Amino acid sequence: MTNANLAFVFPGQGSQQIGMLADAAAEFPEIPSTFSEASDVLGYDLWDLCQHGEQADINLTERTQPLLLTASVALYRAWCAKGGARPVRMAGHSLGEWSALVCAGSLVFTDAVRLVRERGRLMQEAVPAGEGAMAAVIGLDDAAVEKVCAEAAGDEVVAAVNYNSPGQVVIAGSKAAVERAIEGCKAAGAKRAMPLPVSAPFHTELMRPAAEQLAPQIESTVFHAPEIQVVHNVHAKPESEPESIKKLMIEQIYSPVRWTACVQSMAADGAETLLECGPGKVLSGLAKRIDRKLGSHNIDTPEKFNEALLATAG
């Protein structure tokens, strides 16, 4: 059954927690089986890592990315197995765009696991530890943040990289330039401007080397036209041509995540309810700030999962 008012959204880095999906895995067999499939590709036990490892281990980018992809795909498989309503549109935040493409039928899951492990490794290696930084800016509009970044950059890099919701923007770049921009944002009237516990400046020009290194692997992987529309981070539009999707997924690594525009695009196209398919409720919270009329559910526990099944059954 398709629900024309339903959109699925898939979280990115930051939503990982030790012990996540433990209750859901006990109820939905698709979750352990999907983790087992990913573990075979990775060469280590991904489920054991996220249940019994240390938070620092799952925060390593090359582990975080396959972990969150697997968690999201596992939940989507469980949703389909329970007869959950099929959405007509999807979007994912940064890494989550890979989850969306798998769930939309554009990419084979095991190929995605392999690619995002490499994506994470290359993104982490693109800038030596300690030389890059990211920071969240609360309470300034996009144009003001962009102006501060332009003034703070000098001969270094700092830019707005995640347009998460109106008044919530993440900036990233060279460590010293980000520090200058934090002070500039505070001076410009930001309610808060604070460093994030991330060492790599994701979605900036500093990530272009990672994109260039990953490009041949993306280009040699088979992509299909998605069966469900996926709204892309780069330009907040859907794309149906596989070769164009590949280019967007390369470009996405060093381009801003236009999340506010992605959600607004889906709402303008008829989405009334967003279902967050992955651990946590970060995107559900952002949805309320982007468009108060949007309903949202997260499905990372059996109780929330079953509530969402009932709420979206039409």
Mean pLDDT of residues grouped by 10 in the chain (314 residues)? 93 91 97 98 97 90 94 98 96 97 98 97 90 95 97 96 96 96 97 87 95 98 98 97 98 97 96 95 93 94 95 83
In terms of DSSP bridges, do strands 168-174 and 6-10 run parallel, antiparallel, or are they unpaired? unpaired
Model pLDDT, residue 159: 97
Q: For the segment 280-310, what is each residue's pLDDT rounded down to a tens digit? A: 999 999 999 999 999 999 999 999 999 999 9
Determine the longest span between alpha carbons in the chain, in angstroms. Answer: 55
Topology, domain 132-199 = Alpha-Beta Plaits (3.30.70)
Spatial contact of 245 and 239, defined as CB atoms under 8 Å apart: yes
Query: In the sheet where 168-174 sits, what is the strand order?
Result: 158-165, 168-174, 132-138, 192-195
Closest among 201, 80, 184 to 131, alpha carbons compared: 201
Entry pTM = 0.95
Classified as helix, coil or strand, 308 is helix
Determine whether 313 is exposed, middle or buried from the number of CB atoms within 10 Å of its CB (0-12, 13-18, 19+): exposed
CA distances 269 to 43, 84, 225, 277, Å, are 41, 21, 20, 20
CA angle 98, 103, 108 (to 5 degrees): 70
Tokens of 184: 């500039």
Tokens of 183: 């002070």
Tokens of 268: 């303008």
Q: Which residues are catalytic?
A: 94, 203
Alpha carbon distance 41, 23 (integer Å)? 24
Determine whether 153 is exposed, middle or buried from the number of CB atoms within 10 Å of its CB (0-12, 13-18, 19+): middle
Model pLDDT, residue 314: 64
Residue 297: enclosing H or E segment and its boundaries? strand 295-298
Topology, domain 6-126+206-311 = Malonyl-Coenzyme A Acyl Carrier Protein; domain 2 (3.40.366)
Tokens of 83: 């007869």
Domain boundaries, the chain: 6-126+206-311, 132-199
Q: For the segment 179-193, what is each residue's pLDDT rounded down to a tens digit? A: 999 999 999 999 999
